[in-house]
Amino acid sequence: MKLAYWPGCVSRGFTPELHGSMELVAPKLDLELVELDRANCCGAGVIAEHNQELADTLNARTFAMAQSVDGAAGMMNICSTCQGAQSECQTRLDASSDYRQTVNSHLSDENLAYEKTAEFWNKNFLWLLVEEIGLEKLSSKIVRPLEGLRIAPFYGCYIVRPTERLGYAEYPNRDKYLDILIEVLGAQPVEYAGSHKCCGFPVITMNRTTSLRQAGRHLADAIDAGADCLVTPCPLCHLNLDMQQPEAAKYVERDLNVPVLHLPQLVGLALGLEPKELGMNRHVVKTKEVQRKVTQLAAA
């Protein structure tokens, strides 16, 4: 399947292991990724907070670039936040042809225009795995079922709410995909209070206490529920849950130390890729114990 691929900013910035692992996983799943390397930031909700027309125009630009990729089935992102921010803009763009025209007029310089069509879609890798690739096909490619691993899913707000804007009418189980996927990969999903809650990242510079209390609380809940690690489709959640974890521990006044994997890393492990090539040695919270369990599986 050929896809217009938007990796996002953070996956190439502060979580380069995410973009790197996606590039390794794609060929294993017969995905041909055409990277939108001229496309701009989705705005992460912040540009929309500043000026809606600006955010909508920037994302219309990205959509237009994706639409001009010859033979692409659709557009894929690997960031919950990109998904949410872009879906929000797309909803507004699709609601009014007058508005679309105004927005497109800003893109005419580059001969770009976003067209509202029933065929165009933009899906997070998580949605794509379940809806486009299919769990059966994914299962057939698994060479290393992740048996014995207890994994806590962490979805990220932007792909679970608001359901009305995120295609839940057509795909009502999108808020269960991570759980389903963990099982398909042979591991055991861990149920805990924080799976669909907020990681706190959006306010890390504005209210550090609120931000890190949120991250700390969810991590603690996952640990108490017996998780070996968490998995998330959102690099911004990853920043607060992994990079900030030692700080979050101070705000909830307890030890945490639980690794957090990116979704493509987890899929990659099951597809036979090695932890090191998936960038698992470049996390702040060491993934050694997860690596040990996975390597034991290979030996068994």
Q: Least separation, in Å, of the C-beta of 40 and another protein?
A: 5
Token pair recorded at residue 67:
């639409």
Strands, E, within 87-182: which ranges? 122-124, 150-153
Strands 32-35 and 2-6: parallel
Q: Least separation, in Å, of the C-beta of 17 and another protein?
A: 7
Comparison of 104 and 123: residue with beta carbon closer to another protein:
104
Options 23, 247, 274, 277; binder of another protein; rule CB under 8 A: 247
Options 34, 133, 217, 274; binder of another protein; rule CB under 8 A: 217
Conformation bin of residue 148: beta by default, left when phi > 0, alpha when psi is -120 to 50:
left
Token pair recorded at residue 148:
């014995």
Q: Is 283 in the site for another protein (CB under 8 A)?
A: yes
Q: Is 79 in the site for another protein (CB under 8 A)?
A: no
Contacts to another protein from residues 38-77, by CB under 8 A: 38-41, 43-54, 56-58, 61
Comparison of 200 and 271: residue with beta carbon closer to another protein:
200
Q: Least separation, in Å, of the C-beta of 36 and another protein?
A: 11
Contacts to another protein from residues 117-156, by CB under 8 A: none
- How distant, in Å, are the alpha carbons of 1, 22, 56 from that of 41? 25, 19, 11
Q: Is 167 in the site for another protein (CB under 8 A)?
A: no
Of 122-130, 209-217, 254-262, 292-300, which part binds another protein (CB under 8 A)?
209-217
Token pair recorded at residue 289:
């114990």
Q: What is the dihedral of CA 227, 15, 120, 113, to 10 degrees?
A: 160
Q: Least separation, in Å, of the C-beta of 227 and another protein?
A: 20
Q: What angle do CA 184, 188, 193 make, to 5 degrees?
A: 115
Site size toward another protein (CB under 8 A) is 73
Question: Contact 270/186 with Cβ under 8 angstroms?
Answer: yes
Of 84-92, 119-127, 145-153, 260-268, which part binds another protein (CB under 8 A)?
84-92
The reply to whether omega before 259 is within 30° of 0 (cis) is: no
